[in-house]
Amino acid sequence: MLGWILYSKSKSELDELDNGVNRLLQAAEAKGITLEVFKPEEFELVVSRNDKKSIFINNKETAMPDFLIPRIGSQTSYFGLAVIRQIERLGVYSCNSSQTIEIVKDKLQMHQLLAHHQLPTPNTMLVKFPIDAGLVKQQIGFPLVVKNITGTEGKGIYLIHSEEQFVDLMELLYANNPASHVILQEFIQSSYGKDLRVFIVGGKVIGCIKRYSESSFKANFSRGGKVASYDLTPEIEHLATTTARLVNLDIAGVDILFDNEGFKICEANSSPGFKGLEKVIGHTVAEQILDYIVDRLERATTA
């Protein structure tokens, strides 16, 4: 079996920081699966009516794989999405699909969908210039969280404590890019510096961990957050699997905030890292992802 990973680096450029891809390569080798790693820029997109089962990579006509694992997540560019779409169009299963990645990378769209389906999320609004600070105070209140619409690893996320600080930041944003897309979100105080990361493969929860930070309100593992095991409750399972199902995420990392006695959904990731999770549940995540893909492909051929 042959798979491709679409990533920000090619195979020869990988180093020890590329944990997710390295682990997938290791697991594939043990299972006798050939996995190649390509960057979107290595592809040539030729769209024609002639559906050949091949694609140009580094100017060489290359036969299609059995599956694709996109690992660029919310940083997937227009070109990256176009590459995934082209590969899907030639009949290859992409885990996750281009359509899902496109929805999930837009944090506002995700919150609109979650709220529409009555799932608990922090109150969220899109920034519009000129800013109406009075409306923001009334609808969201302070402190509030400012987020880039397509961020990851806690980058571009600020905790704003006062109206004055908020107006200052918005003026800076506007001066730099009046077209920037930023959301404002109710700050869930009881989740300060901690949250849950629920990992889903094929619609099932394969792990739930608590992430916590001693230095920031952000709990991201990639920012030095710590991890601990956390018992999955029916409520957490319901929130995470429903979120994944809503947008057809075959693989998902769902971030869940602690809200007093309950929970609020923070976001979903389409190519979640799993170094923190494997620290807690052991080195099985990459294997479970590949097992799921192989099983799905085998079921599709026998159906």
Q: Which H or E run includes 29? A: helix 19-31
At its nearest, how many Å lie between ligand ADP and the CB of residue 255?
4
Q: Does 255 bind Mg ion (CB under 5 A)?
A: yes
Judged by CB, which is closer to Mg ion: 39, or 194?
Answer: 194
The span from the CA of 130 to the CA of 123, in Å, is 20
Footprint of ligand ADP on residues 220-239 (CB under 6 A)? 220
- Is residue 73 within 8 Å of residue 81, measured between CB atoms? no
| Residue 116: both structure tokens together | 């529409």
Instruction: Number of residues interacting with ligand ADP: please give it, by CB under 6 A.
Output: 23
Judged by CB, which is closer to ligand ADP: 186, or 250?
Answer: 186
93, interface contact from Mg ion, ligand ADP, none, CB < 5-8 Å by kind:
none
Q: Which H or E run includes 5? A: strand 2-6
- Binding flags for ligand ADP, 264-283, as an x/- string (CB under 6 A): --xx----------------
Q: How far is CA 15 from CA 18, 20, 189, 224, in A?
A: 6, 11, 37, 19
3, interface contact from Mg ion, ligand ADP, none, CB < 5-8 Å by kind:
none
Footprint of ligand ADP on residues 243-262 (CB under 6 A)? 255, 257
Judged by CB, which is closer to ligand ADP: 19, or 62?
Answer: 19
Peptide bond preceding 70 in cis form (omega within 30 of 0): no
The span from the CA of 7 to the CA of 36, in Å, is 10
217, interface contact from ligand ADP, Mg ion, none, CB < 5-8 Å by kind:
ligand ADP
The span from the CA of 17 to the CA of 61, in Å, is 31
The span from the CA of 5 to the CA of 40, in Å, is 10
At its nearest, how many Å lie between Mg ion and the CB of residue 219?
8
Interacting residues with ligand ADP (CB under 6 A): 122, 145, 147, 151-155, 157, 185-188, 191, 195, 217-220, 255, 257, 266-267
